Structure 1
Amino acid sequence: MTSTQPAPAASMIERVSLILEVFTPEEPVLTGGEIARRVGLSRATTARILTELARHDFINRVPSGYQIGIRCFELGQMAQQPKDLRHLALATMFDLRRATGLTVQLGVLEGNDVVYIEILRGQYRDLTIPSRVGGRVPSYATAGGKALLAHSPGHLVEDLLKGQLEKIGPSTITDPHELRAELDLARREGIAYEREESHTGLACAASPILRGDGTAVAAISITAPVGVVEMRLVGPAVHAATLGLNRQMAAAPHWAKL
């Protein structure tokens, strides 16, 4: 192996990633031999991986070699949604942080978890939060997750309630009846609250960003240390912020597709 070739990938995921990354707009089609040379794999190993990728439409076989398949395009379109949501909500999030001084988070529901797509840290820089951009936290243990669940299809909520509700923080609600009551209250008030349910010393308030049909596409939450800020007093600020975003979604039909 020459010094210009990469070291052999250790895992299958890494090998697949290296193969997909060799394609560029300037070189959309490559031969199997060229791909093998660039990723530092044997021709036989590269051929096996390419065959599997082609079987699942991540790679297309063409007369002059291989090119990226339709499945990669489909996944790319799905990945655009967080960017669009971030674009929609970012100015409002900055305003909310300026008004409250608190950490502001934007999350979406993925399965039974909240996935965070933006976090603006507030004045309490030493506050430990269990989330990061791209990270996951069980939805039932967070204010943002409860705001999303309160405006999600009933069957999704029932499936979650039938499952195991593990204790994440000191005050995580693990009783299905109590959690259902929390979601009902969040739906009526438009605000969900959390107090040490996802992490010790953490308090949050959240409101959903809603489509025209009333289902949640995302949630904005604010976070502070327990005992420092009364969340019931600042929660209405989050609700007002999301109401403004809901009006934007209603006024611009393309947002309803998120």
Structure 2
Amino acid sequence: MPYQRTVLPLALVGTLAACTGTGTVAPSVSPQGSAESTKTNMLEAGAAALQSNAPLGGMDIYLVGFHPMKNDPNHQMEAHHFCRQMNEDVAQCALFDGNTANANLTGVEYIISERLFEQLPRRERQYWHPHNGEILSGQLVAPNLPDVAEHELMKSKMNSYGKTWHTWQSEEGTQPGDRLPYGPPMLAWSFNRDGEARPGLVETRDREMNTSTAERRRARQDLVPTARPQEGVDALKGKFPRLTQDIPGVVDKRATR
């Protein structure tokens, strides 16, 4: 999920040494098919020289988090988001299973503010997952950003919601998944309690990207008082085979009624 653009003094950004970790994450699978031919390579070169990729040019916000599928919560994926902020209330992201040039496009996510979510028809809200759990747990990270900038990014997205469809299940937890985008799109959700993520999922990301979910969580404790109850926090409650614990500040709106 992206952020409402936070402007920091350029000199400050350039001199901050502490940054959210970074690393190269290769996709879990390679698509079935033959290697590209010389003709295809030439066509690609011509297209790059003569055609525009303007809609992709603004997808300059990079975040990494995790998604369980709503109807199959134990099918979970690491999601690399490349996002464009459309305005102060709406953003759109392309999702990949890595951050290298050969990463597989696995889905899309749309982000809206709490204000817009409250205007949605009741029947539409079942598709939108809450974000406070991702932020306050420390699981959502913005690689390469200075810690101060990343903190402002997360602060700006407290209480927001996302609508995510995965079209390619190329990962099965920490293991490779399908080598082609089989089956119907799957609606993804968010983790809202400790223990919902499969063992090793978060730890593998932290190791590959040289980051620490625990450190991010500690650094975001000042955001807990800004968290408001959200719809969908309890949508997957009790649907995981592991013991779970509440995350302070992550509360289902129905529990407050």
Please confirm whether the aligned pair reaches a TM-score higher than 0.5, indicating the same fold: no
The answer to which structure has the higher helix fraction is: 1
Larger radius of gyration: 1
TM-score (normalised: structure 1): 0.28
TM-score (normalised: structure 2): 0.28
Structure with more contact order per residue of length (Cα contacts < 8 Å, sep ≥ 6): 2
